[in-house]
Structures are given as structure tokens and as C-alpha cells.
Amino acid sequence: MLIKTSDQGKRLDLTDPVAMPKAAAFLWNKKMMIHMNCRGFAVSQFMQPEPAKYAHAPNLEAKTFMQPEQPYYAHHAGRFFYIKDVDNQDLFSIPHEPVKNPMDEFIFSAGESDIQWLLKKNNLEIKMQLDLTKNDAVELWTLQIKNNSAEGRKIQVFPYFPVGYMSWMNQSALYDEQLGAIICSSISPYQKYQDYDKVKEYKDKTFLLAGTAPDAYEVRQEAFEGEGGLQNPTAIQTGQLKNGEARYETPACAMQYNINLLPQEEKSFNFVFGPAKDRAEIERIKDDYLLSDTGFIKAKKAYHEYVSQGKSCLTIHTPNKKLDNFVNTWLPRQIYYHGETNRLSTDPQTRNYLQDNMGMGYIKPEVTRNAFLTAIGQQEFSGAMPDGILIEEGAELKYINQVPHTDHCVWLPVCLKAYLDETNDSSLLHEKVGFANNIEKATVADHITKAMTWLLENRDHRGLNYINQGDWCDPMNMVGYKGKGVSGWLTLATSYALKVWLEICKDFEIDTLYKEFENGIQDLNNAVNEHLWDGSWYARGITDDNVVFGIKKDQEGSIFLNPQAWSILSDSADAKKESLLIASVKERLETPYGVEMLSPSFTKMREDVGRVTQKHPGSAENGSVYNHAASFYIYALYTKGYKNDAFRLIDKMIPGADEDDLIQRGQLPVFIPNYYRGAFKQFPRTAGRSSQLFNTGTAHWIYRCLIDGLFGLKGEPGGLRIQPQLPDDWQKAQVVRTFRGAEFHVNILRSIEVNSMTVYQNERLLDDNLISDFKSGDTIQILIHLPV
């Protein structure tokens, strides 16, 4: 079996590092994250305050964000241990790289708060474990080796943590005997003298601390590898590391332990790896984690407690065990990561910040509340929202946030609705907050009304919303840069945002521009139906040169998913159009791996659309199964009762239909990636391949789909609305739903004895499907009978 669950579903184990070579898991705290590959490669970053690396590529690289479909290579940063039998000179490395000598048994085990490898080779039983701490940007590594043979063994163990090319200005390394640490030092390059005060505070050291003093060490990568290279380093061949130093040479952290193991004897080693500003910080870290035998134990316990705070509000038992394991263990964990770290950014995109914190509303609603206030406080007095939200002192808008997009106002009511449904916190709407460019304060409700007014005013003569240099789709940057191009999706999204805002205002008796917004919704819907309906689906937009795109006559990019999803949400599509566009999506966009964002994928630059068309066909926004867009569509399907279509697409989003599916995707079902490769009809060989990126708004929307749609346990001001939409082939499901402090134990059964849904609360038949008679601390039994 290629993958299996263990520890009552809390762990997911991979048994082959070759079948799925990019399979990985991730850990994080508020200061760092690490994406750890099953073969030993790692992508890690920490905040200082912008994202930075402490293990680098072998040459100068840009210090940016994680890359999709991360290309691993021989000298990619990793965490490895070489193990050599002294008597017969056999050499292997764990967990797999760089020697690639197969294990007798291999398990890569992703846990909620740690990552483990359980390995057997040549009668040695080895456990390798990675943990993080709650508050420090360091990695805790434990290595345990047991001799399972009947004879004593002499082995050498060489921890090897490559550091890579740190800086062209200044880099070196040495072993500090007093600390028991290899310390690699560098100076971050800067050009302007004004930057010096900032750069001098950087953590420019990378260290490997050992709980047990090594017998030897090497700190110069070239000396360690020698002529043998990574697969058979010369320093290991000689049997003795040379205790060297690195002087403006590429550093590395390599240690040597000469170990004698009696039969059945086990030995354990602890290491700490990470960045530091100076020796004093490394000394403090040693005191915290290695000075006593309990340092690692306490740190692991504290980190586990930290991760466990991301507790799910939904526990399920259904006929689909793959879904159960993913929803009960991994999905809330991914949501919690986003809300805690803001994707390791000091200026998260506004749309990402609001949607990520929408998900946190199900886990830590107080975080969501504060995030809304932070975002709204950066709104301009005109009503426009910025492209990014500054969440650290001194932060600046960078990268894509320097490009003007027009969609950010949409997400205020859309995401706020989920928070209010969950908490009924009407007081948030009355909080007074200032503006980025005006000292005047206004209520949150007034801020959102301004945002909705801005969206209505930001339209052309046809009533369609301007796109500028992008909407939700960042790389659609050349449709409207001349100031004339419009977005079909944004027009539909504006209609939906207004619809949601009016619902909120009516629910909570908020004064707003009711008549103006109702007329606006009608005008928007009329505009898209007049100018963008193409007979079977809606167009994506109209360019600066008045060319409609995303229509049948286009050879590439003839249909886009987002306009279809949001036309359902906004009620722009009548019943006939809705039926036609859903059929078109199924025929033209659905694949075995989910629903594509557009089709056919662009194979060459289209200069009136933008750089999205330059991305490789089937990757990212150019026709991949872009799960964020797919989750919008799934949510839309549930709002109109297309339960079977909706669940089919949720099921496709989670890897593991069978082993062939796992191998094709190459990803463990421990997170939803931002995309799977698309262009299924054009390039089927690579279709389904995972991006491996766990930064995505998908997680939050899928959780919302499960709560509001599949299990129909949706909050509203008066209580919990019961309206499950189980797929037709499910006969039963059990759910524990935490809601406003109460715990609902829900049993859903199909019954031939009912013609319509019946709901029992603590054995009492309800006249309505709204549960309002409860208080915080209550445990409530709900029985639901659905017709067959």
C-alpha cells in the first residue's frame, strides 16, 4: 500500500520515496515555515521581518516566495544523514537523498505537529524526526539508531545540512567547540547606505547545534564533497572529516559520529538548525533546547499544543473515508496555518488576507474580527481597498501589490458574511475605524457601503466593471491597462457582493443605500447578459480594444470558469442559462483531477489579455485545475442545490482515488494545493500533477462548502440552519459541529418513511429546520431523516 493512515487518522504514511518523489508535508509557526520533502529536500523560510532563507541554493537566488512544482536538484537545500558501516564500507543516506540507496523499509510519516521517517536498512532501525518550536525560527531534529542484528556494529553517522551560497559580500564558517555548533556567517548585500541600519539587524548566521559533541566536523562544502560528490563524498570515503574552516567559501554543516552499537542497543542524537543574528542568540537557543534532557520534550509538547489550537469545528464520519481523514485532520490545519502566518508576508494581498481570515472564523473568530478591522482601516476615503494589507510596522507594498487590481472591495461583504453567520457578532458592524488617507472615522458598515459604491462607480458606459491591470486573476494584466477594458467576472462578483451586503444589512438592520444597491444589482446583471452572454456561457471580459474574449470563436481560452461560477452566485443567469453553462463546464472544463480554470489553455502570448497567456499551458492560471476557482464553482453549485455535481468536484480535489491517481498527482492528501496541472485534452501526460503549494484560498472555501453545503449546518442570525445536501449515493453521515459554544451531534439518515426532510432536536420533531433553542456549553442531539 503506497499510503496509509496511522495513529487513528492523525498521521499519513508514505511507503515509497520513488513512486512519489515530490511528496511532502509542512510545519510552521508564526516566524517560519518548512516544506519537507519525503526524500530529504526542504524549502524553508523565516521572517526578519520579510521572508528570508537560512539554507540557500548553491548560487545566488532571489529571496521571494515558494515556487510551484518546486524543482529539486542534487544540491538543493536539504537535511540528510549519511550512515557508513565501518567493517564493510557500505554507505547509504537517509531519508533517501543524496546516495539514493534504497531502504529495506521506508515510511515517511506526516503528523499534525511533526514529520517522521521510520527506516530499516542492513539490520539498522532508524527513526528521524523533525519538530518545530512554538516561538523560535529553528528546526529540532532527532535521530535514533537501533542495532537489530545479533552482533555488535561499528558505524559512522554524518549529519549533513547544506547551507549553500549565502552572500557574495562575505561568507565563512567555523566550528565553535564551546557551543558544540557549526556557525556559518554571512553579510547580506546592500547598495544604498540608507539600507545599512536595516541590514545590520538581519539574522545572517546559519547554525547547526549538536546535543552530543561530534568526533569530527567539516564546514566547507567543497572539502566535504571532494571528487566523490554528494553520492559518495570524499571526506566520508577517507573515514575522517578534517575539522576545516571556510573562508569566503561555500559553507556547509557536516559532523561525524563514530558509534559502537551492541546487539539491540539504541542511541539517540538531537540537533537544532536555523538562523541567528549572533553567537549570543545561538547560546540562548542551546540553553533553551539542549542544556537539559527535557529541552526537546518541552519544546515538542508546547509546539503540539500550539498546533492543536487550530481545532476543527467539524468532525465527520461518512461513506467516504478519504474525505473523513482529510476533513478531520488536515483541512483545518491548513486553514489555521494561513490565519496564523498570513502566508509569511508582511503585506498579504487584500483578497488573500480577507479570505484566509474568513477561514479562521471557523477556528479562531477573534483573529478574523481583528483582521477585518485591520483591513478596513487601510481603505481609502473613496471606498477603494488597497492591493495589499500592511500588517507589520515599516512594511511596504511589494511585488504584485504594486500592480493595481480592481477586485479587493468585493471580498469585504463576501468574507464578512461567513464570519457573521458563524458568530452573530453584529457589534463588529458598528465599530468605528479610520481611513488610510482621512482622519475621519466611520463604522465598519459605512466602510463597506463606501466599498460597494466604489464598485458601482468603477464601471464603463455599458455598466461593466473596469479591470485595470487585473482582477482576481493577477496575470490578466493587459486587458484594461489603457483604462477601457472590463472584467466579466468582476461585474458578476460586484453583483454578488451587493447581494450579500444587502442580506447582511437586512439581517442586522443596518442603514445602507438599499434602493441604489438593488438597482445596481439589476443593472449589473442586465449588462452581463446583454454584452457577455455567448449562447452557452459568459465571456471573461472585453479588452481595451473592445474585443470580447472567453467566447466560442476563440481558439484558446474560449471558456473561463470564474464567470460561470459567479453568474450562479449573483443570480445573473436564469434557469435556462444556468443549465447551459453548467453543461458547458462539465463538457469543456471538467477533468479526472477537477475542473479547469479555462480551456483550451493558451499556447502563445495574447497581448490584449496579458502574461497569463505566457504561463505554460495547464499550469497556474493558464488552464490548470486551479482549486481556488474550482472552490468558488463548488460553492455556487451548492447554493442552487446541485449536490451531486458539487460533491464530485470536492472528491476530485483530494488526492487518492487510487494509487495511480496518487502517483500522477505526486502529492499526499495532507493539504489542498493551489493547483493541479490542467490542459487535460492538450497535454494529458502531465495533467493532474500537483503544484505542491499549500498557500491557497481554496482551503477556506472548501470548508465553507462542507459546512454550508454538503452537511448543511450553516449559521445565521437566529441559529443553526439545517439543510444537508448529501450526494444521492450516501445513505448516512454523522457530524459533530461546534457552533457558538454549543456542540451538535448530528446523525443524518435516508429513510423510505419520509417524503421530505424531517429534523429532530433531542428527540423532539421540529416544525422548522432552524435550531435556535440552545446556549453555549450545550450538547445537542440532532437526527435528520432524508427521503431516499
**Total residues belonging to the chain:** 788
Q: Residues 526, 548: contact at Cβ < 8 Å?
A: no
Q: Minimal CA–CA distance to 554: which of 489, 608, 505, 491?
A: 608
Which of 421, 474, 554, 645 does the annotation list as catalytic? 474
Q: Residues 710, 646: contact at Cβ < 8 Å?
A: yes
Query: Cα dihedral sign for 51, 52, 55, 56?
Result: positive
742 contacts: CB under 8 Å, gap ≥ 6: 774, 775, 776, 777, 778, 779, 780
The C-alpha cell that represents 150 in the structure block: 545479533
In 163-293, DSSP assigns E strands to 171-176, 181-186, 205-210, 216-220, 246-247, 251-261, 266-276
Q: Residues 414, 496: contact at Cβ < 8 Å?
A: yes
Instruction: Give the C-alpha separation, 655 to 665, whole Å.
Output: 7
Instruction: Give the C-alpha separation, 698 to 689, whole Å.
Output: 17
Roughly how many angstroms between the first and final C-alpha of the chain, as a whole number? 35
Q: Residues 297, 291: contact at Cβ < 8 Å?
A: no
Q: Which residue in the block uniquely carries the three cell numbers 459568459? A: 538
The C-alpha cell that represents 216 in the structure block: 569530527
Is position 13 annotated as part of the catalytic site? no
Q: Minimal CA–CA distance to 348: which of 377, 386, 310, 382?
A: 386
Burial category of 657 from C-beta neighbours within 10 Å (exposed 0-12, middle 13-18, buried 19 and up): middle
DSSP string across 753-782 = T-SS-EEEETTEEPSSSEE-S--TT-EEEE
**Residues classed as catalytic:** 474
